[in-house]
A and B are shown apart, each in its own frame.
Chain A
């Protein structure tokens, strides 16, 4: 190979190396930021949606929805989610009929009607999940701080679903020397509050009746609702990965063709 050819090859090789190094540096930065956050252990779970081909487990999302509805929704809103989303592809994929039933169990405020009055009616697919509190102040009054909205929570916390899962099972007896104020609970995963959280331990063994016979342990319920919240945060994830795979295949093929076309075009130079 000519020297110029070698140099050219080298630059070709250097490019991805530099890119990889830069990305590595960024990831390092991100993980060291994470590490400085706190000492609590957050286990990396083997989610069905991990990896480039991972998809949501429909049954798990349905169970997770049940946990959200029966436990979380008492205090946590999910304001960017509509009932209709539950029937959409890539999610729990409830049937239209099931969604109608689910929605109709909620009461939503509507209006004004022709007389100018607000009125209440059963929920429909087009409605958003109603908030458990009439306003932010009422929400804040309940536990001292407004319980966060859960629509995008899995993207709003370092560690995502791993964090939510670890938090839900992370309640412990406070170690000696740590004083937990009245109305607080000790949970070392909750580093934002230095290990003290206002949310009472939400899950107890056997709390939610699973219709598919899955054992309703705290561990299982916690995993299911974490997976569900990952879906609410990223409802188009499956479509994204599927399209991404096609786009990458296309680009790799295109790059190959362009590379050989380039070699052909340049073959008469030098």
Chain B
């Protein structure tokens, strides 16, 4: 949607550079003059917030790597060294550890925003798929990172997750041994996880560049879901309008971030991870970090191991084909009264699945005689609904739903509403 470049080099040097490497022009066209729909709400600030999160994780992570030792004998002690003896090491580590949680809070809001306003639909399918890819890389990175402090949850979490690959028919056992670099989670595993944990954020950064590129080709979606018709009437330049709004969003987000880092730094973690890993002692409950709990619940909901693994990965894989499962011509849930309700049901289902993932699977919720309705039963119902939502409700709803009338243009929707007030 970007039209002619309006970049105008101001002095001799920038003119000289522009003729050789128009990098200033690229920045100008992407982040200054780039037209953004004027009706974007604050849910649209999470893209910027996510870039900030990635930046914070990379910077704190590089510093942590200067002091961390990826060896089973020294990893735990090196983390304590960071907490006690490195100048502001506690700040850097708590920022990094809570930063992962903040990153996931932001990415979940960002994804649900996309789901609500139909941002995955044509022509933004590639943009959405790149986003899901980033999310997948984030989960892998977070998993590798959680193993590094070499506490009890690090070790046993790594054992549980890598064992999942053992469920693959025929090659499973070999794949698992190959991942471990041995016959159990140990020194080689820790070393390669450290290496990959350092590598993946840069892969994420690479895909983020593609994600932003794709965004700037199609232009942003907006709350009305109507495409930009007249850039003069429908859009405002990225700078200063979006920059100042994103800046405000980031600043408010950082307040939440700072609350956790400074006043509740271990609130989102597991106490067990402050116990040095012990391969001979299994903790009573092995639970992943909160952001992976819904998938963990789906994994445990399936009685068969391979089935569980397939369901868990399927829950993410289904997101890749989402643009083709949705048959509705209307993007925004504002004009889709039925979809709006199903959207919120789905949000609740995901949160309750997460709750299930944190519970002991045989915990009984409703007592009936000897047994009753337990967490596994609830997880099963919710996991089935999770897939129904995408595989059945999405295609059917698009064909059956009576949508509300769309505004003619973004400007019309904004002006129409303003006129109502005057």
Contact partners of B41 in chain A: CB under 8 A: 7-8, 11
Q: State A225–B259 Cα separation when bound (angstroms).
A: 28
Is A138's CB within 8 Å of the partner chain B? no
Most buried by A among B38, B255, B285: B255
Nearest B-chain residue to A243, judged by Cβ: B262
Q: State A185–B160 Cα separation when bound (angstroms).
A: 34
Contact partners of A11 in chain B: CB under 8 A: 41-43
Contact partners of B421 in chain A: CB under 8 A: 1-3, 5
CB under 8 Å from chain A, chain B span 257-308: 258-259, 261-263, 265-268, 271-272, 274-276, 284-285, 287, 290, 293
Is A254's CB within 8 Å of the partner chain B? yes
Cβ–Cβ contact B248 & A262, under 8 A? yes
Cβ–Cβ contact A265 & B39, under 8 A? no
Contact partners of A245 in chain B: CB under 8 A: 262
Contact partners of A25 in chain B: CB under 8 A: 351, 354-355
A156 and B91 in contact, given A4-B39, A25-B355, A26-B268 (Cβ under 8 angstroms): no
Is A12's CB within 8 Å of the partner chain B? yes
Q: State A261–B243 Cα separation when bound (angstroms).
A: 11
Cβ–Cβ contact A36 & B42, under 8 A? no
Q: State A236–B247 Cα separation when bound (angstroms).
A: 31
Cβ–Cβ contact A33 & B251, under 8 A? no
Is A182's CB within 8 Å of the partner chain B? no
Q: State A12–B287 Cα separation when bound (angstroms).
A: 34
* B: contact size bracket: 35 or more
Q: State A27–B293 Cα separation when bound (angstroms).
A: 14
A-B pair count, CB < 8 Å, reads 136
CB under 8 Å from chain B, chain A span 217-270: 233, 235-236, 239-241, 243-245, 247-248, 251-252, 254-255, 258-259, 261-262, 265-266, 269-270
Partner of A157, one of B38, B252, B265, B271: B271
Partner of B359, one of A36, A192, A252: A36
Chain A proximity of B80: nearest CB distance (Å) = 4
Is A158's CB within 8 Å of the partner chain B? yes
Cβ–Cβ contact A258 & B256, under 8 A? no
Q: State A37–B358 Cα separation when bound (angstroms).
A: 13
Is B388's CB within 8 Å of the partner chain A? no
